[in-house]
């Protein structure tokens, strides 16, 4: 069942998910009760499918011998996961996770469709008032570029911190 949910959230467009969570879920489940909550739920569900596959791939990429060596010295399964598996997964999946967060930032422009007042919603409102789309949309694009740059920089810093913490040298580019 989790595999099917991941496939569903990866296969459907974010706009469809936004509209579905905003209009169908309140009728079916009585929740979410605000547009803002619906937007965040849809963005979270959409990215969860990709993140689940990223983590699955990261866990499966760890050589079986690492686990077996840990078990052979008497480590319990949770300790093996925490000390052996998780650090390697964190390092190997960090670029994909950062990429997914940048996708979430860029996908958030669509939440204005369900009247969530985000950056894109406000820029469209200003364009409708002042009739200067080039300037406003350029400024909006610049703000998104800055946000994505900050997310990418934070991800790189986190990856470097994890490498130092676990004593792994960074790959030469």
User: What are the tens digits of pLDDT across the range 113-141?
Assistant: 777 788 788 888 888 888 888 988 899 89
Question: What's the domain count of the chain?
Answer: 1
pLDDT at 1: 67
Mean of the pLDDT values across residues 92-117? Answer: 84
Q: Is residue 48 part of a domain?
A: yes
Tokens of 92: 């190997």
For residues 139-148, b (16+ Cβ closer than 10 Å) or e, as one string?
A: ebeeebeeeb
State which residues form the domain around 6: 2-166
Share of the chain above pLDDT 90, in %: 14
Cα–Cα distances (Å) from 120 to 91, 108, 123, 140, 150, in that order, read: 33, 9, 5, 7, 18
Bond into 8 cis (ω within 30):
no
Q: Is residue 98 part of a domain?
A: yes
Give the containing element (helix H, strand E) for 47.
helix 35-60
Q: Is residue 17 part of a domain?
A: yes
Q: Is residue 173 part of a domain?
A: no
Place of tokens 């986190």: 158
Cβ-contact 19, 113 below 8 angstroms: yes
Q: Is residue 116 part of a domain?
A: yes
Q: Is residue 78 part of a domain?
A: yes
CATH number, domain with residue 94:
1.10.3720.10
Q: Is residue 171 part of a domain?
A: no
CB atoms within 10 A of CB 106: 13
pTM greater than 0.85 = no
Tokens of 3: 């595999």
Q: Is residue 172 part of a domain?
A: no
| Cα distance between residue 12 and residue 49, in whole Å | 11
């Amino acid at each position: 069942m989790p595999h099917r949910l991941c496939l569903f959230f990866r296969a459907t467009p974010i706009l469809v998910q936004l509209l579905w969570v905003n209009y169908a879920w309140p009728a079916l489940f009585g929740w979410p009760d605000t547009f803002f909550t619906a937007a965040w739920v849809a963005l979270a569900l959409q990215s969860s499918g990709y993140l689940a596959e990223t983590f699955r791939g990261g866990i499966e990429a760890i050589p079986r011998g690492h686990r077996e060596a840990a078990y052979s010295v008497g480590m319990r399964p949770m300790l093996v996961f925490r000390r052996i598996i998780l650090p390697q997964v964190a390092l190997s999946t960090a670029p994909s996770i950062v990429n997914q967060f940048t996708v979430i930032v860029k996908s958030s422009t669509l939440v204005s469709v369900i009247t969530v007042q985000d950056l894109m919603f406000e820029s469209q409102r200003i364009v409708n008032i002042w009739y200067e789309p080039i300037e406003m949309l350029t400024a909006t694009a610049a703000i998104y570029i800055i946000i994505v740059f900050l997310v990418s920089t934070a991800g790189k810093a986190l990856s470097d911190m994890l490498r130092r913490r676990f004593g792994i040298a960074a790959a030469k580019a």
